[in-house]
Chain A
């Protein structure tokens, strides 16, 4: 059974029939149109599979599989949107999905790195931050700061910190959160959160799909 998480910028796959197989990743723009999987999630997923699991459920199931705690907040920062789930006493307590006002934050962060030829691994978390609620609107702050003499790297770092702070507030300002999504690989973003952050990587939704798949098809007992 092949699982697919079809994100805005990247698609992630896992073949459950190959023992020990690792997830694979491909840029969405390079995805063959004829791609088919058995179980999909992600906002592009419905086009590529007959069975679809919505992203929040996949995130929640992934969290249940990867986090051995009864109380936690799991925040997923994707290219296009941000979403979170909060568990208390082992049960869903709160959730949110910001696809409109949280639009394109991850996408914009990646875009800026390429455009300005930056390396987020070498940028320090700035003292100041922009008040960013949307990737597109936040770009104006960068341009204004650069015009006023702020170095590009500093301006972009303020933007990235602004996005992290916005996502943190969206998730309810927890003292500690688990982070999911491609931005886990961005050290500047991870360090910009004003709380303790545990990155879980970009395959949390795939893990959630795996849990759903196991429910559909219980493992064989020999």
Chain B
């Protein structure tokens, strides 16, 4: 066993439940799986607590996903937290890790995920409800197992580019034949720092370029939306507002995309 792996295994052997923010390297997830640890993806809403409980630690005007991660970290009984702060995440996560390390009595360990082995993106291209596919993609970050029985690809009629939104309800509006692009595709491929894959889109289908409000990816989303011949740029904060829903509805309907 390499020294780094031995150190990781020794650390994880002390834990039963860990939280992850972003996508830590496969080595971490593999070791956690081997030790039978419970992994909580702190980027998702996991506890029924007001987002305001994050406000003593993060500004109110801040990425809603990281505010959610802080709320989860404060209210879940965890033994440790792994935060990816490499090129597949963002400076906001780095600063959040610094703050959590001081606020919590558990280890907060920063990682740099530079994994390059692609697992493939079958869910991104399948014909299934978009919410179910996005849920499966986000659940997939807790496992290193290769994908079994991947669904066949479909011909796309629309595109969703971006990160998994904090509020998945926006995804209800898209047809099952929507292909997923952006960081969510990198998630499924288990290469979150693959910026070339992240910037890939299909100019042939109307595409919504989505980013969380106050996230650095808003710049990339808007930039790519301007390059795409038929795009809607959209940023949403904590919850999907009625105007955000209406924009997506109108964009898809006026673009001739059938439900």
Which residues on A are within 8 Å of B, measured CB to CB? 43, 54-57, 60, 81, 85, 92-93, 95-100
> Is the pair A92, B246 in contact by a Cβ cutoff of 8 Å?
no
Q: Interface digits, B234-254 against A, CB 8 Å rule (1 contact, 0 not)?
A: 000000011100110111011
Q: Complex Cα distance A39/B243, Å?
A: 19
Q: Name the 7 nearest CB pairs between A and B, nearest first.
A: A56-B250, A99-B243, A54-B246, A92-B254, A97-B243, A57-B250, A97-B247
Do B249 and A54 have beta carbons less than 8 Å apart?
yes
Chain B residues with CB below 8 A from A93, complex form: 230
List residues of chain A with CB within 8 A of the CB of B247: 56, 95-97
Q: Chain A residues near B241 (CB, 8 Å)? A: 99-100
Q: Which residues in A have their C-beta under 8 angstroms from that of B255? A: 92
- With A92-B255, A95-B232 as known contacts, state yes or no: A60 contacts B250, CB within 8 Å: yes
Determine chain A's interface SS by DSSP, over half rule.
mixed
Q: How many B residues touch the partner, as a band? A: 10 to 19
Q: Are A57 and B232 in contact (CB under 8 A)?
A: no
> In this complex, which of B249, B253, B254 has the most chain A Cβ atoms within 10 angstroms of its Cβ?
B254
Q: Which one of A55, A85, A100 contacts B246 once the chains associate, using CB atoms below 8 Å?
A: A55
Interface residues of B (CB under 8 A from A): 230, 232, 241-243, 246-247, 249-251, 253-255
Which single member of B242, B243, B254 contacts A57 (CB below 8 Å)?
Answer: B254
**Nearest neighbor of A98 in chain B, beta-carbon distance:** B243
- Which residues of B have CB within 8 Å of A92? 230, 251, 254-255
Which residues of B sit under 8 angstroms from A95, Cβ to Cβ? 232, 247, 250-251, 254
Complex alpha-carbon distance, A60 and B243, angstroms: 15
Q: Is chain B's binding surface mostly helix, strand, loop or mixed?
A: helix
Nearest-CB residue, chain A, relative to B249: A54
The complex places the Cα of A60 from the Cα of B255 at a distance, in Å, of 11
Which single residue of chain B is at the shortest CB-CB distance from A59?
A: B250
Cα distance, A153 to B49, chains bound together (Å) = 49
Q: Which of A92, A93, A96, A100 has the most CB of B within 10 A?
A: A92
Residues of A close to B243: CB separation below 8 A: 81, 97-100
In the complex, what distance in Å separates the CA atom of A95 from the CA atom of B246?
11
Q: A57-B249, A92-B255 are in contact. List 18 more A-B contacts (CB 8 A).
A: A43-B242, A54-B249, A54-B250, A55-B246, A56-B249, A56-B254, A57-B250, A57-B253, A81-B243, A92-B230, A92-B251, A92-B254, A95-B247, A95-B250, A97-B246, A99-B242, A99-B243, A100-B241
A76 smallest CB distance to B (angstroms): 12
CA separation between A35 and B254, bound complex, in Å?
Answer: 29
CA distance A43 to B2 in the complex (A): 61
B86 to chain A, nearest CB (A): 33
Please, could you name 6 A-B residue pairs with CB atoms under 8 Å apart, sorted by A?
A: A54-B249, A56-B246, A56-B249, A92-B254, A97-B246, A99-B243
- Taking CB as reference atom, which chain A residue is nearest B254? A92
- Closest residue on chain A to residue B247 by CB atoms: A97
Please give, as numbers and ranges, the residues of chain A lying within 8 Å of B254 by CB-CB distance: 56-57, 60, 85, 92, 95
The residues of B that contact A57 with a CB separation of less than 8 Å are: 249-250, 253-254
CB of A18 to closest CB in B, whole Å: 29
CA distance A54 to B247 in the complex (A): 9
Q: Give B253's nearest chain A residue, CB to CB.
A: A57
Smallest Cβ distance from B131 to chain A, in angstroms? 20
- Complex Cα distance, B232 from A81, in Å, reads 19
A56 to B173, CA, bound (A): 15
Nearest Cβ on chain A to B209's Cβ, whole angstroms = 12
Q: Kindly report which residue of chain B lies nearest to residue A56, judged by CB atoms.
A: B250
Residues of chain A with a CB closer than 8 A to B232's CB: 95
